A and B are shown apart, each in its own frame.
Chain A
Amino acid sequence: MHPNGGNNMALEVLLVEDSPGDVRLTQEAFRTANTSVHLHVTSDGVEAMAFLKREGPYAGAPRPDLTLLDLNMPRMDGREVLARIKGDDSLKTIPTVILTTSEAEEDIAKSYKLHANCYFSKPVQLDAFEDLVKSINNFWLATAKLPGQGKTEHAGRGNGAEKKHS
């Protein structure tokens, strides 16, 4: 009965990932886990920020309900993207999940300090990877309450008061 879990409402997920293999795996896993997810992919931090701010080729981009963010990326890395998202009054409410190969304690602590909503290290095995995506889907997209729920149109969300990028 959860509004997030409804079939008829598209959920927009932004995946920020530079490894084509991991992009492919994530796409396939979401296809199995939840067909109402629209997965958008950007392959570095600069593109991710352009998507979130609807700049350049991303002028028509929807506001994501959830962002999955890799840490080590070309041009602008995930830590920088995270800091910018969580330092921006309009973007900070988008749950941002770190999904990285790093298991370094330093990266974990730093990410939580920058207000990542949670941190995962990517499993190496295919099954475990699918399982992880499934559990991210079940928790974030079907259990947690996200901002802006109950609105049918996500793209123009804000409060009507802030229509900055259109």
Chain B
Amino acid sequence: MPLQVLLVEDSPGDLRLTQEAFKVVNPFIQVHVVNDGVEAMAFLKHQGEYVDSTRPDLILLDLNLPKMDGRQVLAQIKEDDGLKTIPTVILTSSEAEADVVKSYQLQANCYLSKPLHFDAFYSLVKSINDFWLSRVKLPQKKNDNNQEAKPEIDRTTSAELRAG
């Protein structure tokens, strides 16, 4: 099964940039997008329209989001025994020291600030890929709370696809 990234981002421009950068850097990564914190939590907890969502290997989380902001999403992820092992990387335009400190206090796995230029943005996504998705040892997916019956099937299917 390809690596799954959950991108929590409300800015359409940044979404587009991140998706395009991943396509170039590593086309095997599957990027799932949600636009606010409420959706992010529904995705992670397989609720509502996300009942079939997969468990992400990595979360890229913006801080300033509508409905429920990134700090709150982060706090909920890192307090939940089923979710806290998912590496959660803050990716935000804020460079405020208060945001950096607060994020690490809430147990963010790391904090990255979004660069303004396309090239720099692209290299940042590349370094996220090279570091988090290639080098770092990520926890294996096993049954979290609900819902891991279906990915079983997905795994077989994608293995077959690769073999074919």
Kindly state the separation between the CA atoms of A148 and B40 in the bound complex, as whole angstroms.
29
Contacts of A115 in B (CB 8 A): 78, 84, 107
**Per a CB cutoff under 8 Å, which of B85, B95, B104, B112 touches A112?**
B85
A contact residues, range: 20 to 34
Kindly state the separation between the CA atoms of A148 and B86 in the bound complex, as whole angstroms.
25
The interface stretch among B25-33, B41-49, B128-136 is B128-136
Kindly state the separation between the CA atoms of A94 and B107 in the bound complex, as whole angstroms.
10
In the complex, how many angstroms separate the beta carbon of B105 from the nearest chain A beta carbon?
6
The interface stretch among A5-13, A20-28, A35-43, A85-93 is A85-93
**B111 pairs with A132, CB closer than 8 A:** no
12 sampled A-B residue pairs with Cβ under 8 A: A92-B105, A108-B140, A112-B87, A112-B139, A113-B85, A118-B87, A118-B109, A120-B136, A140-B110, A145-B95, A147-B97, A149-B100
* Chain A residues within CB distance 8 Å of chain B: 86, 89, 92-95, 103, 105, 108-109, 112-113, 115, 117-121, 132, 135, 138-140, 143-150
**Top-8 shortest CB links A-B:** A93-B104, A112-B85, A139-B131, A115-B107, A145-B111, A119-B137, A144-B110, A118-B136
* Chain B residues within CB distance 8 Å of chain A: 78, 81, 84-87, 95, 97, 100-101, 104-105, 107, 109-113, 124, 127, 130-132, 135-140
